[in-house]
Structure 1
Amino acid sequence: MTSRDPEIEEGGGGSSLKKPLLHTGSWYRMAGMSSQQSNMSASSPQMMRESVSIFLCVSIVALGPIQFGFTCGYSNPTQADIITDLKLKISEFSVFGSLANVGAMVGAIASGQIAENIGRKGSLMIAAIPNILGWLAISFARDYSFLCMGRLLEGFGVGVISYTVPVYIAEISPQNLRGSLGSVNQLSVTIGIMLAYLLGLFLPWRVLAVVGTLPCIILIPGLFFIPESPRWLAKMGFMEDCETSLQVLRGFDTDISTELNEIKRSVATSGKRDTIRFSELKRRRFWYPLMVGIGLLLLQQLSGINGVLFYSSHIFKSAGISSSKAATFGLGAIQVVATAITTSVVDKSGRRALLLLSSFLMVASSLLASMSFFSKHLVSKDSSLYDFLGTLALIGLVIMVSGFSLGLGPIPWVIMSEILPVNIKSLAGSVATLFNWLAASIVTMTAPLLLHWSSGGTFLIYAAVSTFTLFFVKVWVPETKGKTLEEIQWSFR
Structure 2
Amino acid sequence: MFAKGIEFGHLLPQIVATILGTLMAISDGMTYGWTSPMIPYFTGNDTHIKMTMHEAEMMETVNLLGAFAGLPTTILAVDKIGRKKSMLVASFAGCLCWIAIIFAPNKEILYVARFISGMAGDMCFVAAPMYIAEIADHRIRGFLSSLIYLMMLVGILLVYVTGAFTAYYVPPIIGIVLTSIQCVCFPFMPESPYYLVCTNQIEKAEKALKRLRGDSNTTKEMEDIQKAVERQKTEKGRPKDLVLIPSNRKAIIIMTILNGIQHFAGISVMVMNLHIILAEAGSVYIEPRVAAVIFAGIMLIGASTSSCLIDKLGRKVLLILSSVLTGITLGIMTAFFHLKNAGYDVLYVSWIPAACCMTYALTFKSGLGLVPIVITAEIFPTTIKAIGMTIADAVYVLMAVVSIQIYSVLFNKFGIHVPFYIFTVCCLSMAFFTALFIPETKGKTLDEIQLKLKGLKVTPKSEQAENGIPMT
Instruction: Give the TM-score taking structure 2 as reference length.
Output: 0.89
Q: Judging changes above 3 Å, is the alpha-carbon distance between structure 1 residues 96 and 259 closer, same or farther for their aligned structure 2 residues?
A: same
Alignment partners' CA distance in 1, 2:122 and 2:261:
18
Alignment partners' CA distance in 2, 1:447 and 1:70:
24
Q: Judging changes above 3 Å, is the alpha-carbon distance between structure 1 residues 57 and 403 closer, same or farther for their aligned structure 2 residues?
A: same
Alignment partners' CA distance in 2, 1:348 and 1:465:
26
Say whether 1:183 aligns with 2:146. Answer: yes
| Superposed displacement of residue 161, structure 1 | 0.7
Please state whether the residue corresponding to 1:311 is helix, strand or coil: helix
Q: Could you tell me which residue of structure 1 aligns to residue 272 of structure 2?
A: 310
Percent identity (aligned): 25
Equivalent of 1:412 in 372, 377, 381? 372
Q: Could you tell me which residue of structure 2 aligns to residue 51 of structure 1?
A: 11
Alignment partners' CA distance in 1, 2:382 and 2:392:
15
Equivalent of 1:327 in 291, 300, 312? 291
Alignment partners' CA distance in 2, 1:461 and 1:112:
33
Q: How does 1:149-164 map to 2 (within 5 A)?
A: 149-164=112-127
Question: Are the equivalent residues in 2 in contact too, given 1:235–1:272 (CA < 8 A)?
Answer: no
RMSD over aligned Cα atoms: 2.1
| Superposed displacement of residue 68, structure 1 | 1.8
Q: Judging changes above 3 Å, is the alpha-carbon distance between structure 1 residues 336 and 153 closer, same or farther for their aligned structure 2 residues?
A: same
Q: Judging changes above 3 Å, is the alpha-carbon distance between structure 1 residues 146 and 323 closer, same or farther for their aligned structure 2 residues?
A: same
Equivalent of 1:455 in 413, 416, 422? 416
Please state whether the residue corresponding to 2:70 is helix, strand or coil: helix
| Superposed displacement of residue 289, structure 1 | 1.5
Question: Are the equivalent residues in 2 in contact too, given 1:109–1:431 (CA < 8 A)?
Answer: no
Equivalent of 1:465 in 407, 426, 449? 426
Equivalent of 1:260 in 222, 225, 232? 222
Say whether 1:342 aligns with 2:306. Answer: yes
Per-residue Cα deviation, 1:162-216 (whole angstroms, up to 9, x for no partner): 1111111111110110111111111111111111111123223343233332221
Alignment partners' CA distance in 2, 1:272 and 1:240:
22
AA of the residue aligned to 1:71: T
Please state whether the residue corresponding to 2:94 is helix, strand or coil: helix
Q: How does 1:273-422 map to 2 (within 5 A)?
A: 275-276=237-238, 278=240, 281-319=243-281, 320-378=284-342, 385-389=346-350, 391-422=351-382
Question: Are the equivalent residues in 1 in contact too, given 2:277–2:353 (CA < 8 A)?
Answer: no
| Superposed displacement of residue 64, structure 1 | 1.9
Say whether 1:436 aligns with 2:400. Answer: no
AA of the residue aligned to 2:398: L
AA of the residue aligned to 1:432: A
Q: Could you tell me which residue of structure 2 aligns to residue 61 of structure 1?
A: 21
Please state whether the residue corresponding to 1:194 is helix, strand or coil: helix
Alignment partners' CA distance in 2, 1:480 and 1:328:
34
Q: Could you tell me which residue of structure 1 aligns to residue 69 of structure 2?
A: 106
Please state whether the residue corresponding to 1:164 is helix, strand or coil: helix
AA of the residue aligned to 1:311: N
Alignment partners' CA distance in 1, 2:12 and 2:53:
48
Structure 2, unaligned runs of 5 or more: 455-472
Question: Are the equivalent residues in 1 in contact too, given 2:24–2:94 (CA < 8 A)?
Answer: no
Question: Are the equivalent residues in 1 in contact too, given 2:142–2:311 (CA < 8 A)?
Answer: yes
Please state whether the residue corresponding to 2:366 is helix, strand or coil: helix
Provide the aligned length of Structure 1 versus Structure 2. 445
AA of the residue aligned to 1:467: L
Q: Could you tell me which residue of structure 1 aligns to residue 457 of structure 2?
A: none
Alignment partners' CA distance in 2, 1:327 and 1:98:
24
Alignment partners' CA distance in 2, 1:111 and 1:386:
51
Alignment partners' CA distance in 2, 1:311 and 1:399:
16
Alignment partners' CA distance in 2, 1:317 and 1:100:
27
Q: Could you tell me which residue of structure 2 aligns to residue 18 of structure 1?
A: none
Alignment partners' CA distance in 1, 2:309 and 2:405:
34
Q: Could you tell me which residue of structure 2 aligns to residue 210 of structure 1?
A: 173
Equivalent of 1:125 in 88, 112, 128? 88
Question: Are the equivalent residues in 2 in contact too, given 1:379–1:386 (CA < 8 A)?
Answer: no
Alignment partners' CA distance in 1, 2:422 and 2:267:
12
Please state whether the residue corresponding to 1:423 is helix, strand or coil: coil
Equivalent of 1:482 in 443, 463, 466? 443
Alignment partners' CA distance in 1, 2:241 and 2:354:
50
Alignment partners' CA distance in 1, 2:72 and 2:404:
20
Question: Are the equivalent residues in 2 in contact too, given 1:290–1:428 (CA < 8 A)?
Answer: yes
Q: Judging changes above 3 Å, is the alpha-carbon distance between structure 1 residues 317 and 233 closer, same or farther for their aligned structure 2 residues?
A: same
Instruction: Give the TM-score taking structure 1 as reference length.
Output: 0.85
| Superposed displacement of residue 306, structure 1 | 1.3
Q: Could you tell me which residue of structure 2 aligns to residue 228 of structure 1?
A: 191
Q: Judging changes above 3 Å, is the alpha-carbon distance between structure 1 residues 304 and 344 closer, same or farther for their aligned structure 2 residues?
A: same
Per-residue Cα deviation, 1:340-367 (whole angstroms, up to 9, x for no partner): 1011111010000000111112211111
| Superposed displacement of residue 489, structure 1 | 1.2
Question: Are the equivalent residues in 2 in contact too, given 1:98–1:441 (CA < 8 A)?
Answer: no
Alignment partners' CA distance in 2, 1:56 and 1:336:
21
Question: Are the equivalent residues in 1 in contact too, given 2:242–2:384 (CA < 8 A)?
Answer: no
Question: Are the equivalent residues in 1 in contact too, given 2:242–2:252 (CA < 8 A)?
Answer: no
Please state whether the residue corresponding to 2:156 is helix, strand or coil: helix
Structure whose alpha-carbon radius of gyration is higher: 1
Question: Are the equivalent residues in 2 in contact too, given 1:301–1:439 (CA < 8 A)?
Answer: yes
Please state whether the residue corresponding to 1:201 is helix, strand or coil: helix
Alignment partners' CA distance in 2, 1:231 and 1:293:
22
Q: Judging changes above 3 Å, is the alpha-carbon distance between structure 1 residues 66 and 177 closer, same or farther for their aligned structure 2 residues?
A: same
Alignment partners' CA distance in 2, 1:280 and 1:295:
15
Question: Are the equivalent residues in 1 in contact too, given 2:439–2:453 (CA < 8 A)?
Answer: no
Alignment partners' CA distance in 1, 2:243 and 2:314:
28
Q: Could you tell me which residue of structure 2 aligns to residue 197 of structure 1?
A: 160
Question: Are the equivalent residues in 2 in contact too, given 1:101–1:440 (CA < 8 A)?
Answer: no
| Structure with bigger RCO (C-alpha 8 Å, 6+ apart) | 1
Question: Are the equivalent residues in 2 in contact too, given 1:187–1:340 (CA < 8 A)?
Answer: yes
Structure 1, unaligned runs of 5 or more: 1-38
Please state whether the residue corresponding to 2:51 is helix, strand or coil: coil
Alignment partners' CA distance in 2, 1:247 and 1:241:
10
